[in-house]
Amino acid sequence: MNEIDEIPYMVVKKDGRRETFDRNKVMAGLLRACEKRPVPSSKLDSIVNAIEKYVQESSERERPTSKIGEMIMRRLKELDKVAYVRFASVYLEFEDVSEFMTELKHLVSNARKQSSRAQVVEGSR
Protein backbone atom coordinates (compact mmCIF):
# COMPACT_ATOMS: atom_id res chain seq x y z
CA MET A 1 0.00 0.00 0.00
CA ASN A 2 1.40 3.41 -0.87
CA GLU A 3 1.26 6.44 1.40
CA ILE A 4 -1.39 8.32 -0.54
CA ASP A 5 -3.91 5.54 0.13
CA GLU A 6 -3.44 6.04 3.84
CA ILE A 7 -4.50 9.69 3.75
CA PRO A 8 -8.27 9.82 4.24
CA TYR A 9 -10.58 11.88 2.07
CA MET A 10 -11.77 14.86 4.05
CA VAL A 11 -14.68 17.29 4.01
CA VAL A 12 -14.40 20.86 5.24
CA LYS A 13 -17.38 21.93 7.33
CA LYS A 14 -18.94 25.42 7.25
CA ASP A 15 -17.06 26.37 10.43
CA GLY A 16 -13.71 25.25 9.00
CA ARG A 17 -13.48 21.94 10.85
CA ARG A 18 -12.30 18.97 8.83
CA GLU A 19 -13.82 15.50 9.04
CA THR A 20 -13.16 12.24 7.30
CA PHE A 21 -15.62 11.74 4.43
CA ASP A 22 -18.27 9.24 5.47
CA ARG A 23 -20.59 7.94 2.76
CA ASN A 24 -22.86 6.52 5.49
CA LYS A 25 -23.50 10.07 6.76
CA VAL A 26 -24.49 11.17 3.26
CA MET A 27 -26.83 8.20 2.93
CA ALA A 28 -28.33 8.83 6.38
CA GLY A 29 -29.15 12.42 5.40
CA LEU A 30 -30.73 11.25 2.15
CA LEU A 31 -32.76 8.56 3.93
CA ARG A 32 -34.09 11.13 6.42
CA ALA A 33 -35.06 13.49 3.59
CA CYS A 34 -36.70 10.69 1.59
CA GLU A 35 -38.52 9.01 4.48
CA LYS A 36 -41.97 7.81 3.35
CA ARG A 37 -41.32 9.14 -0.17
CA PRO A 38 -41.48 7.04 -3.36
CA VAL A 39 -37.74 7.29 -4.01
CA PRO A 40 -35.98 4.08 -5.08
CA SER A 41 -32.92 3.15 -3.02
CA SER A 42 -31.00 2.75 -6.29
CA LYS A 43 -31.41 6.51 -6.89
CA LEU A 44 -30.06 7.26 -3.41
CA ASP A 45 -27.12 4.93 -4.03
CA SER A 46 -26.32 6.73 -7.25
CA ILE A 47 -26.36 10.12 -5.46
CA VAL A 48 -24.02 8.81 -2.75
CA ASN A 49 -21.73 7.29 -5.40
CA ALA A 50 -21.60 10.60 -7.28
CA ILE A 51 -20.75 12.48 -4.08
CA GLU A 52 -18.06 9.95 -3.14
CA LYS A 53 -16.55 10.19 -6.62
CA TYR A 54 -16.54 14.00 -6.37
CA VAL A 55 -14.68 13.85 -3.04
CA GLN A 56 -12.19 11.27 -4.30
CA GLU A 57 -11.36 13.31 -7.41
CA SER A 58 -10.05 16.22 -5.34
CA SER A 59 -6.32 16.77 -5.80
CA GLU A 60 -6.16 18.08 -2.20
CA ARG A 61 -8.13 15.04 -0.97
CA GLU A 62 -10.76 17.32 0.56
CA ARG A 63 -13.93 19.11 -0.50
CA PRO A 64 -16.15 21.71 1.18
CA THR A 65 -19.43 20.39 2.55
CA SER A 66 -21.11 23.42 0.95
CA LYS A 67 -20.41 21.98 -2.52
CA ILE A 68 -21.51 18.52 -1.41
CA GLY A 69 -24.77 19.90 -0.02
CA GLU A 70 -25.43 21.84 -3.25
CA MET A 71 -24.87 18.69 -5.31
CA ILE A 72 -27.27 16.72 -3.13
CA MET A 73 -29.93 19.44 -3.28
CA ARG A 74 -29.66 19.71 -7.08
CA ARG A 75 -30.19 15.95 -7.44
CA LEU A 76 -33.02 15.78 -4.89
CA LYS A 77 -34.78 18.70 -6.56
CA GLU A 78 -34.94 16.67 -9.79
CA LEU A 79 -35.87 13.48 -7.98
CA ASP A 80 -38.46 14.43 -5.35
CA LYS A 81 -39.51 17.97 -4.41
CA VAL A 82 -40.63 17.02 -0.88
CA ALA A 83 -37.31 15.31 -0.14
CA TYR A 84 -35.54 18.37 -1.57
CA VAL A 85 -37.40 20.74 0.76
CA ARG A 86 -36.72 18.48 3.75
CA PHE A 87 -33.02 18.31 2.97
CA ALA A 88 -32.80 22.03 2.17
CA SER A 89 -34.53 23.01 5.41
CA VAL A 90 -31.75 21.32 7.38
CA TYR A 91 -28.85 22.10 5.04
CA LEU A 92 -29.75 25.76 4.48
CA GLU A 93 -30.58 26.19 8.18
CA PHE A 94 -33.81 28.10 7.66
CA GLU A 95 -34.19 30.48 10.58
CA ASP A 96 -37.95 30.77 10.39
CA VAL A 97 -41.07 29.78 8.50
CA SER A 98 -40.82 32.74 6.11
CA GLU A 99 -37.49 31.49 4.73
CA PHE A 100 -39.02 28.06 4.33
CA MET A 101 -42.07 29.51 2.56
CA THR A 102 -39.86 31.55 0.22
CA GLU A 103 -38.12 28.37 -0.93
CA LEU A 104 -41.45 26.60 -1.38
CA LYS A 105 -42.76 29.50 -3.49
CA HIS A 106 -39.68 29.24 -5.74
CA LEU A 107 -40.30 25.53 -6.16
CA VAL A 108 -43.99 26.00 -6.99
CA SER A 109 -43.23 28.83 -9.42
CA ASN A 110 -40.57 26.78 -11.23
CA ALA A 111 -42.88 23.76 -11.39
CA ARG A 112 -45.62 25.88 -12.96
CA LYS A 113 -43.18 27.28 -15.54
CA GLN A 114 -42.02 23.78 -16.46
CA SER A 115 -45.61 22.56 -16.69
CA SER A 116 -46.55 25.48 -18.97
CA ARG A 117 -43.56 24.78 -21.23
CA ALA A 118 -44.48 21.10 -21.42
CA GLN A 119 -48.05 21.99 -22.40
CA VAL A 120 -46.80 24.33 -25.14
CA VAL A 121 -44.54 21.61 -26.50
CA GLU A 122 -47.36 19.04 -26.39
CA GLY A 123 -49.73 21.47 -28.10
CA SER A 124 -47.31 22.11 -30.96
CA ARG A 125 -47.08 18.41 -31.90
Amino acid identity at 121? V
Q: DSSP labels for 46-67?
A: HHHHHHHHHHHT-TTSEEEHHH
Task: State pLDDT tens for residues 42-69.
Answer: 999 999 999 999 999 988 889 999 899 9
**Does an H or E element contain 18, and which?**
strand 18-20
- Is 96:118 a contact under the CB 8 Å cutoff? no
Chain CA centroid to CA 36, Å: 18
Q: What is the mean pLDDT of the chain?
A: 84
This prediction has a pTM of 0.75
Count the neighbouring beta carbons within 10 Å of the beta carbon of residue 95. 8
